[in-house]
Amino acid sequence: MLKNFKILLQYEGTKYQGWQRQDSTGNTIQGKLESILCKMTGSETVSVNGSGRTDAGVHALGQTANFKIETDKSKDQVMHYINQYLPEDIGVISIEEMPDRFHSRLNAKGKIYQYRIWNSDLPCVFERRYVYELPDKLDIDAMRAAAGHLVGKHDFKAFTSSKKSKKSTIRTINSIVVECQGKEVVLTYEGDGFLYHMVRIITGTLIEVGRGTRTPKSVVKLLDKDASREMAGALVPAKGLCLMEVRY
């Protein structure tokens, strides 16, 4: 019987070349899942659709994916089978059987990403794989003001590393929350979707505002139709980024 399963996934991205399957030498999350499902079903290929790709080194607390397989197994049996063969830095934490038309990327309505900055010169022993260490003094209010200018529906082409000029670079950011949590500065982004490297370039730009090398107001011109990648801030490291939730 053909079943369409939606899974909720967590992974520590440290050791992986990102979500997307590559050739046989690539160590990817999609690749791990597909080879386990091929073994389980005896099929030559199984396609696992992620809600989107995450880059090498990026983590996920709430990635979603779906796949269609012929199986008599119950959803819990499928989850148990996958978890049994996954390495300990990837885990399926829930599973649902969905109508045939459900697609985890096409049906996604929004995403939440979090970027964690360890804003101290003390070592961060336990969370070091999940934060970007940046001891510089940051002006949080300035970062919040700049973030406010980026919220809304805009052309974010200055905030992507993608060279594909044909696809739309218009996206809507519903909110950017900048919070101090102990020694961390945590940036939480919610939007309908994010371009390649977009969260990491916005974060890099907001950090420059926080350091005082850009004014909050100056980010407005990065949304202009003649803005370009070079005008925006630096790309911050992948390890501070985590895909928190995909909304449907």
Of these, 1, 100, 125, 166, which contacts its own copies (CB under 8 A)? 125
Strands 132-133 and 110-118: parallel
Closest approach, Cβ 24 to its own copies, in A, equals 25
Look at phi and psi of residue 121 and say left if phi exceeds 0, alpha if psi is from -120 to 50, else beta: alpha
Strands 49-50 and 241-247: unpaired
Q: Which stretch binds its own copies (CB under 8 A): 87-95, 135-143, 165-173, 206-214?
A: 87-95
Comparison of 68 and 183: residue with beta carbon closer to its own copies:
183
> Applying CB under 8 A, does 186 fall inside the site for its own copies?
no
Considering 23, 55, 76, 89, which one is annotated as catalytic? Answer: 55
Q: Which stretch binds its own copies (CB under 8 A): 67-75, 88-96, 163-171, 230-238?
A: 88-96
Give the residue carrying structure tokens 């080879």: 35
Residues 67-86 touching its own copies, rule: CB under 8 A, are 83, 86
The reply to whether 136 belongs to the active site is no
Residue 95: helix, strand or coil by DSSP? strand
Of these, 126, 137, 164, 168, which contacts its own copies (CB under 8 A)? 126
Element (H, E) at 5: strand 2-11
Helix, strand, coil percentages, rounded to 5, for the chain: 25, 30, 40
Comparison of 89 and 139: residue with beta carbon closer to its own copies:
89
Q: How far is CA 57 from CA 205, 236, 239, in A?
A: 20, 12, 5
Residue 219: helix, strand or coil by DSSP? helix
Closest approach, Cβ 81 to its own copies, in A, equals 13
φ, ψ dihedrals at 91, nearest 5°: -150, 145
Of these, 1, 123, 165, 225, which contacts its own copies (CB under 8 A)? 123
Residues 28-67 touching its own copies, rule: CB under 8 A, are 59, 61
Query: CB burial class (10 A; 0-12, 13-18, 19+) of residue 122?
Result: exposed
Q: Which stretch binds its own copies (CB under 8 A): 18-26, 34-42, 123-131, 189-197?
A: 123-131
Closest approach, Cβ 88 to its own copies, in A, equals 5
Closest approach, Cβ 35 to its own copies, in A, equals 18
CB contact at 8 A, 119 and 135: yes
Active site residues: 55
Note the residues at the interface with its own copies (CB under 8 A): 10-12, 59, 61, 83, 86, 88-93, 122-126, 128, 130
